[in-house]
Amino acid sequence: MKLYRFLSGPDDSSFCHKVTAALNKGWHLFGSPTYAYDKQTKSMRCGQAVVKDVEGHDYGPDTKLSDW
């Protein structure tokens, strides 16, 4: 199965750690990162799509992406 996740978070080290953790679990960066201003929190937010191929498993709507 092919999996897709969009990671997002504040523009600080916690976002970098989130992406780094995904990369260390076998996820791969997909596309360019995003960066936007959040008017509600008056702060910058980051986003990055990641993908992963998992052999021998079928995708279903109950698949918990963060487990992979």
> For each of the chain's 68 residues, which pLDDT tens digit applies?
999 999 999 999 999 999 999 999 999 999 999 999 999 999 999 999 999 999 999 999 899 988 88
Residue 41 lies in a domain: yes
Residue 25 within any structural domain of the chain: yes
Q: How far, in Å, CA of 2 to CA of 59, rounded?
A: 8
Q: Which domain holds residue 38?
A: 2-55
Residue 61 lies in a domain: no
| Cα dihedral value 49, 53, 57, 61, nearest 10 | 20
Residue 64 lies in a domain: no
Domain total for the chain?
A: 1
The model's pTM:
0.85
Residue 14 domain-assigned?
yes
